[in-house]
Amino acid sequence: MRPALTLCLLLTMMTPTTIARNTHMPETATAASSATPVPPPPAWLPGLDALYDTQLRVAGLEDRSFTAEHWWSVATPLLEKQRGFRTEEIGRSVEDRPLRHVRWGTGKTSVLLWSQMHGDESTATMALADLFRFLGEHADHPLVKQLQANTTLHFFPIVNPDGAARFQRRNAQGIDLNRDARMLATPEARTLKALFDQVKPKYGFNLHDQRVGYRAGDSDRGTAIALLSPPYNHAADVNEVRTRAIEVAGVIRTALEPYLAGHIARWDEEFDPRAFGDLTTQWGASTVLIEAGGIEGDVQKQRLRKLYFLGMVAALDSIATGSHAGVSPALYRDLPENGDVWPDLMLRGGTLAVPGHPPTRADLLVNFRNPLAETDGAIADVGDLGTKKVRRSIDARGLFIVPIAGHAGERTVIEANDDDSEDTRAPAPLTPGASARFVLSRDPQGRDVVWTLDGNVDPAAPSPPGS
Ligand SMILES: [Zn+2]
């Protein structure tokens, strides 16, 4: 990624409202003296960064799609009692998978961190394994000693193991657990609420991934990390509980700014009385929502995993030492909101050559179930798609788009919020909803093939030669 200091400086001087309304903000505007400077990162950061690469990254989590059973097989050896960990089963999922609580530390400040309540959002869970290794294997590290003495950390990794088994957002019943904080209809949500009531955290961390296509504000830059201090009411008032959360979010930004300047955003503060972060704030825990978006080329989110780890350590350290007190709320407020979501791949200017239909000039838009790896693609739109912005585009002028015979099938899920599930008609081979399986060919019969998209983009040939 390229650094984008200009816009960063510009954004830090603007109020969030200004950013939202000013959609034609020039990137070349000069920063005014009222810009809130981001303080230097913590002095320990370079050392911990280096330590991470050699001694903290836990092996066995190189693929971001893993089952809970696999993750626990990797994490459990790190959780030895003599290293201060206590692990207990606290419930069972709908499909009877164990839900576990890990506890570490002897301090008086209680912190609750829960991950992967959406089953396909695994970045934080990978980073938690690294954090366990840090806490367990580096007892003499000053950061660990400070945490051990001043905090008690409560972890609930993989709140949604049934969803993780399918690498899907929702639980086995199709329920979004992060909309079940009020009803507590699911065993997973009830288990999280019971743990919250038991440990009465002063701080909470609600750990997620968000869609890769999100842009930071009005910019063209993808959001790598998004932060939110969830509101506890519709007015999004700020009380003492939220003040602490906003400070901690500012600490996370400060630590990650050297890596991700311009790629850090925040979520909007619309109150949702069904969402956990909103209610844990209401219940008195200073809660920070962390969302991992994407870094182009970081296909398995391994780079983002490390940054997530560093951000969490910075947040926890500021809690253990109390150093977040007095951090400027502008560090959080000045972040651009998550803006547009850019679709994944556009083929511009090709000619559809579907058997039985006349050849037709059309752009073709493809979204992937895994946008960074470009796998499991489906047609999202077709026709004159104008100047629509996308994460990647391919010039298909002069080429025919020919469906791969006999393989076009119906796609059921493109994005978690796709509500077209009642439409059971099988789409034609290149219409929205169809699996993205076609070739780019110099002839309409698909004999002189220059590029193939077989649901997945071939990493060895991501684009047609010469494009
Ligand atoms: Zn989520």
| Dist CA 447 CA 110 (whole Å) | 65
For residues 270-278, average pLDDT: 98
What pLDDT is attached to residue 7? Answer: 38
What pLDDT is attached to residue 428? Answer: 74
- pLDDT by residue (tens digit) across 185-243? 999 999 999 999 999 999 999 999 999 999 999 999 999 999 999 999 999 999 999 99
Task: Label residue 426 by pLDDT band (50, 70, 90).
Answer: low
The answer to whether 196 and 155 have CB atoms below 8 angstroms apart is no
β pairing state of 98-104 and 151-156: antiparallel
What pLDDT is attached to residue 65? Answer: 96
Task: Tell me the CA–centroid distance for residue 306 and ligand 1, in Å.
Answer: 19
Name the percent of the chain lying above pLDDT 70.
88
Listed residue (374, 397, 15) closest to 213, CA to CA = 374
Quick one: which H or E segment has residue 363? strand 360-370
Task: Tell me the CA–centroid distance for residue 96 and ligand 1, in Å.
Answer: 22
CA atoms within 13 A on the CB side of 50: 4
Task: Tell me the CA–centroid distance for residue 62 and ligand 1, in Å.
Answer: 20
Task: Tell me the CA–centroid distance for residue 224 and ligand 1, in Å.
Answer: 14
Task: Tell me the CA–centroid distance for residue 215 and ligand 1, in Å.
Answer: 17
Task: Tell me the CA–centroid distance for residue 208 and ligand 1, in Å.
Answer: 4
pLDDT greater than 60 at residue 413: no
For residues 152-161, average pLDDT: 99
Task: Tell me the CA–centroid distance for residue 445 and ligand 1, in Å.
Answer: 43
Task: Tell me the CA–centroid distance for residue 463 and ligand 1, in Å.
Answer: 31
Quick one: which H or E segment has residue 209? strand 203-209
Task: Tell me the CA–centroid distance for residue 243 and ligand 1, in Å.
Answer: 23
Convert 255-271 to b/e letters by CB count within 10 Å (16 or more is b). Answer: bbbebbbbbbbbbebeb
pLDDT greater than 80 at residue 181: yes
What pLDDT is attached to residue 438? Answer: 97
β pairing state of 203-209 and 109-115: parallel
Q: How many Cβ atoms sit within 10 Å of the Cβ of residue 340? A: 14
For residues 398-403, average pLDDT: 97
Task: Tell me the CA–centroid distance for residue 348 and ligand 1, in Å.
Answer: 32
Domains, the chain, with CATH or none: 41-340 (3.40.630.10), 343-454 (2.30.40.10)
pLDDT greater than 60 at residue 419: no
- pLDDT by residue (tens digit) across 228-258? 999 999 999 999 999 999 999 999 999 999 9
The neighbouring-strand residues paired with 176 are none
- pLDDT by residue (tens digit) across 80-109? 999 999 999 999 999 999 999 999 999 999
For residues 43-68, average pLDDT: 98
Task: Tell me the CA–centroid distance for residue 198 and ligand 1, in Å.
Answer: 24
For residues 386-403, average pLDDT: 96
Task: Label residue 447 by pLDDT band (50, 70, 90).
Answer: very high
Task: Tell me the CA–centroid distance for residue 91 and ligand 1, in Å.
Answer: 21
pLDDT greater than 70 at residue 23: no
pLDDT greater than 70 at residue 322: yes
Task: Tell me the CA–centroid distance for residue 289 and ligand 1, in Å.
Answer: 9
What pLDDT is attached to residue 424? Answer: 47
> In angstroms, how far is CA 110 from the centroid of its own chain?
25
What pLDDT is attached to residue 417? Answer: 39
pLDDT greater than 60 at residue 6: no
Task: Tell me the CA–centroid distance for residue 209 and ligand 1, in Å.
Answer: 5
What pLDDT is attached to residue 334? Answer: 97
Q: How far is CA 357 from CA 297, 361, 433, in A?
A: 37, 12, 18
| Dist CA 394 CA 348 (whole Å) | 6
The label of the residue with tokens 């556009």 reads 346
Task: Tell me the CA–centroid distance for residue 122 and ligand 1, in Å.
Answer: 10
What pLDDT is attached to residue 405? Answer: 63
Task: Tell me the CA–centroid distance for residue 206 and ligand 1, in Å.
Answer: 9
The label of the residue with tokens 């059921």 reads 412
Task: Tell me the CA–centroid distance for residue 257 and ligand 1, in Å.
Answer: 23
Task: Tell me the CA–centroid distance for residue 371 and ligand 1, in Å.
Answer: 16
Task: Tell me the CA–centroid distance for residue 275 and ligand 1, in Å.
Answer: 10
**Which has the minimum average pLDDT: 33-47, 74-88, 114-128, 398-412?**
398-412
SS3 303: helix
Task: Tell me the CA–centroid distance for residue 39 and ligand 1, in Å.
Answer: 29
Q: How many Cβ atoms sit within 10 Å of the Cβ of residue 152? A: 18
The residue type at 77:
P
Task: Label residue 350 by pLDDT band (50, 70, 90).
Answer: very high
Task: Tell me the CA–centroid distance for residue 78 and ligand 1, in Å.
Answer: 26
For residues 399-407, average pLDDT: 81
pLDDT greater than 90 at residue 25: no
What pLDDT is attached to residue 466? Answer: 80
Task: Tell me the CA–centroid distance for residue 467 and ligand 1, in Å.
Answer: 36
340: left (phi over 0), alpha (psi -120 to 50) or beta: beta
Task: Tell me the CA–centroid distance for residue 465 and ligand 1, in Å.
Answer: 37
Task: Tell me the CA–centroid distance for residue 402 and ligand 1, in Å.
Answer: 36
